[in-house]
Structure 1
Amino acid sequence: MTLSAWIGGYRRAWESNDPDDILALFTPDAVFFTEPYATPFRGHEEIVAGWLAKRDEPGAATFTWEPVTETPELGVIRARTDYPALGETYSNLWVICFAPDGRATEFTEWWMEHPR
């Protein structure tokens, strides 16, 4: 799986909030950091529960991104998330560590809210 395909799967899960779409992205023992120093969600059960507890409604956000670096083991992207109804915009930096099958073993996101 390429970085682009993984991001496409992430967006699909972001819009659907379907546990199967979420699980398809991560290895069973993956860790998901919502902030670099936050306690991560560990494993499929925590990742799905954490995702759904903080889910966005379908269509609530637009997302654009560009790769910073991509190898078979690592993807780093710079992105922008806009929530038009809320008037909020965020800059994002994602670091994704990949297993050989293309699923993430570790995901860390940094997000910074733009001034209004």
Structure 2
Amino acid sequence: MTEKQFETKVRKFLTDLGCWELKTWSNGIQREGVPDILVCCKGYFVGIEVKAANGKPSALQLWNIEKIREAGGIAVVLYPNQFDEFKALMQSIKSRPLNAHINQNLLDKKGK
């Protein structure tokens, strides 16, 4: 399975689970080393660097994963042979109470 095929499989799983996901690209405008997929699921932030079986993350990708973890998010380098464990992790997150301790509706009011 190619990295692209695996990424498509991961994104479909996340969408089917009801998570918000965003595919990122390094294109000279966006910061390099950001995980391939950014996810918000049940109030949790998850960064996923997708790799094919023989792939290896760069030092910058690993640095970004560490920074996400330091900020309280979840970040992983995901290989195809870990997909079942990843699905279990995400299903566990989805079954938790909503991780929203801030009344964000206060921000929905327009300035007066």
Greater helix share, 1 or 2?
A: 2
Q: TM-score, normalised by structure 2?
A: 0.30
Q: TM-score, normalised by structure 1?
A: 0.30
